[in-house]
Structure 1
Amino acid sequence: MSRLGNLGARLYRGEVGYDFIRNRKIWYGVSILITITAIVAVAVGGLNMGIEFKGGAVFTTDTKAKISTAQATDVATEASGHMAIVQELGNGGLRIQITEVDTAKANEIKETLSDELGIPAEEINADLVGPSWGEQIANKAWTGLGVFMILVVVYLAIAFEWRMAVAALVALIHDITITVGVYALVGFEVTPGTVIGLLTILGYSLYDTVVVFDSLKEGQKDITKQTRFTYSEIANRSINSTLVRSINTTVVALLPVAGLLFIGGGVLGAGMLNDISLSLFVGLAAGAYSSIFIATPLVADLKEREPQMKALKKRVLAKRAAAAARGESPEGDGPAYGNDETTENAETAGAVVGQRQQPRGHGRTPGKR
């Protein structure tokens, strides 16, 4: 078995692990800092909306121009009276985008480009987009996002419980905010491809979160009938048992997306590939992070406020304290469990990462084999 596979098996059995619940405040702080940065970036710098939302024209040609990209930018800007964005395509052609331009001037601009680029006018494709079309896309995107959020909350509240629904909703908002903030920071255009990418990562983020929730749901069965673990400890074990799976799934998903973003965009030129791949890349990474460090710890925080869970925690700590007084090792002592109070009050709690202490066995009865 590979080292990673062996680690995954040990994590699943609870032999090793990282105490996510105990360190949850650190990760909450990291998430809050990143989220605030994203919000400030959007508020200050704003988003670079594409012509689908602003309206304008896109001129493309498959023929190599006789002037440079910088010169083409100056020509297009002067001809239209608006700032133009010129990108060289993988086949040597050009993509000239002019936002908020009067579509009635499209033919005039096309003729000017034809003369300056040295390309026949019939070989220049012009796509005209009105701002009303982009507004319709934005409205439909917001509607789809709202419906998706409502369905997610209703489903998780029925299939699991309302606390998990709230935690999943917070994680989704977290992922969307970070992704939009990255777009504001790097200045990538927001296009329909971006919207498609955002809606796609919502499904992935939810899938990764539900995997952990399902493990937690199984682990908390008859939880109040035992005195070995608190709810937070069981939640922490659920995260660790699915940790390698989450990492593997995320890496496998990120590799092709990274290829689209860093290789495909560079070879084929910027466009729909970059628009959708950036949102997917950032969203997939943020979704994996939130499912591990945000969603489940938040469920544990909400759940530990219940009277039953508070009573369970007192019984568990009392049992461990009594075992410590007798010099015995309490059951359930080991890594991947615990929260602040449990670790502070239970002196016999095991290391966060290390071999789990096994229960003491009885020696073989003399004379028996």
Structure 2
Amino acid sequence: MSKLGSIGARLHRGEISYDFIGHRKLWYGISILITITAILGLTVRGLNMGIDFQGGAVFTTPKTSVSVAQAEDYARDASGHDAVVQKLGNDTLRIQIAGMDTQQSDEIKDKLAADFKVDSEKIAADLVGPSWGDQIANKAWQGLGIFMVLVVIYLAIAFEWRMAIAALVALIHDITITVGIYALVGFEVTPGTVIGLLTILGYSLYDTVVVFDSLKEQTKDLTKQTRFTYSDVANRSINSTLVRSINTTVVALLPVAGLLFIGGGVLGAGTLNDISLSLFVGLAAGAYSSIFIATPLVADLKEREPQMKALRKRVLAKRAQAATDEEIETSRPVADDSEDAAPAVVGPRNQPAARNRGRGRPSGKRR
């Protein structure tokens, strides 16, 4: 840990650094590839919407030894539709069947009770109408849209419009990747998923704003010097906050990983699974976009300004002149004083007599 702290201090002081801005085309390419894959997953497979969005029935069985695969067969035979079955932590099963009305729900409940060999009253049944799911989806989209608008306005006022655009692109990048992974792996989208998606936007903005704040502070009066370009300062801002971003992301991911792999995987808590998966993927994508997407994009936008173009020309010209001077200095021959050097004086040196010494005195001596 002390070594990591030492590296962080050296990065903050600028003693060591990695050229994130110089390799921005690589990061853009990786993000474009991941985003295209996510969009293809959404187009081809689509999202596995839960019954909260499309309506249906949820049945919760008492403690049973029936396997998940066998329960899926029972539910398919009883309803004629595919069912989503989750095993909960107390050895109970949660069976979701989409597109059911009240009468069908009662019939399926009786058939499941017979298959599980339990009393019908011991199986809990909840019916969700499709209008409820549509209302949830509309509210989620409205909340996302309002959030995006407020973020752009705030960043444009607190920083500048280029940083607002870069942060917006990073947020869209994070949401697209997270939703695309849901589509590719087939995880069910529930209200918990929506909560997780809205939550990760704040975490993603946190790292982005930290870098932007450092960049804003270091670029004051930037055009009055000729040592650094805007991209140089942007790269230094990323390096100076890199360890902080890594630490905050790791600290945030650890409890989320606990919810995902222990709460969801071991205990079988479906709600925890829905929220923690979106948080885990979104936090990782947000940390990546803050470092590799948002700040390089700001540098690209700023370098298009006439003032920054002129600054870059001056900086490059000064660096070229410095390189030329260094090359001339290193190629200058060293004088060989073995033959041409004047011979060294051996013995006492004869000092010249002082002018007017002893003038006016008979003996020539000082009094």
Q: How far apart are the structure 1 equivalents of 2:85 and 2:50?
A: 13
Q: Secondary structure at the match of 1:327?
A: helix
Q: Which runs of 5+ in 1 are unaligned?
A: 329-369
- Equivalence for 1:199: 198
Aligned residue in 2 for 1:250? 249
Amino acid at match of 1:160: F
Partner of 1:63: 63
CA deviations on 1:152-172 (whole Å, 9 max, x unpaired) are 000000000000000000000
Aligned residues of 1:303 and 1:309 also touching (Cα < 8 A): yes
Alpha-carbon distance in 1 for matches of 2:20, 2:70: 55
- Measured after TM superposition, the shift of residue 116 of structure 1 is 1.5
- 2:10 aligned residue: 10
Which AA in structure 2 matches 1:98? I
C-alpha deviation, 1:204, in angstroms: 0.6
Structure 1 residue 270 displacement after superposition:
4.8
Letter aligned with residue 214 of structure 2: S
Consecutive unaligned residues of structure 2, counting only runs of 5 or more, are 328-367
1:348 is aligned to none
Counterpart of 2:358 in structure 1 is none
Quick one: higher RCO (CA 8 Å, sep 6+), 1 or 2?
1
Partners of 2:67 and 2:175 lie apart in 1 by: 38
TM-score (norm: length of structure 2): 0.87
RMSD: 1.4
2-structure distance, mates of 1:24, 1:81:
52
List per-residue Cα deviations over 1:180-227 (Å, max 9, x = no partner): 000011100011000000000011101110000000000000101111
Runs (4+) of structure 1 exceeding 4 A deviation are none
Separation of aligned partners in 2, 1:84 and 1:63: 19
Q: Secondary structure at the match of 1:221?
A: coil
Q: Displacement of 1:115 after TM fit?
A: 1.7
Of 76-85 and 275-284, deviating more is 76-85
In the alignment, the residues of structure 2 paired with residue 41 and residue 228 of structure 1 have an alpha-carbon distance, to the nearest angstrom, of 47
Checking the alignment, whether the CA contact within 8 Å between 1:82 and 1:101 is kept in structure 2 is no
TM-score for both structures, normalised by structure 1? 0.87
**1:287, distance to aligned residue in structure 2 (A):** 0.2
CA deviation after TM superposition for structure 1 residue 271, in Å? 1.2
CA contact (8 A) 2:84 2:96 kept: yes
The CA deviation string for residues 10-56 of structure 1, in whole angstroms up to 9 with x for no partner, is 00000111100100000000000000000001000111000001110
Moved more, 4-13 or 82-91: 82-91
**1:355 — aligned with what?**
none
Alignment of 1:13-28 (within 5 A): 13-28=13-28
- Please tell me whether the aligned partners of residues 63 and 119 of structure 1 are also in contact (alpha carbons under 8 angstroms): no
| Equivalenced residues, count | 328
Asked if 2 retains the 8 angstrom alpha-carbon contact of 1:260 and 1:273, the reply is yes
Indicate if the aligned counterparts of 1:172 and 1:287 stay in contact, CA closer than 8 A.
yes
Q: Match of 2:135, as an amino acid?
A: Q
**Percent of aligned pairs sharing the same letter:** 79
Q: Does 1:162 align with 2:161?
A: yes
The structure with the largest alpha-carbon Rg is 2
- Kindly state the Cα deviation for residue 104 of structure 1 after the two structures are TM-superposed: 2.1
Q: Specify the code of the residue in structure 1 equivalent to 2:219.
A: Q
TM-aligned CA deviation for residue 244 of structure 1: 0.4
Q: Show the 5 A alignment for 1:1-369.
A: 2-65=2-65, 67-327=66-326
**Counterpart of 2:149 in 1: which secondary structure?**
helix
Separation in 1 of the partners of 2:308 and 2:85?
61
Contact 2:88–2:270 (CA under 8 A) maintained in structure 1 = no
Residues 98-155 of structure 1 show CA distances to partners (whole Å, capped at 9, x for unaligned) of 1112332111211121121122222211111011101000000000000000000000
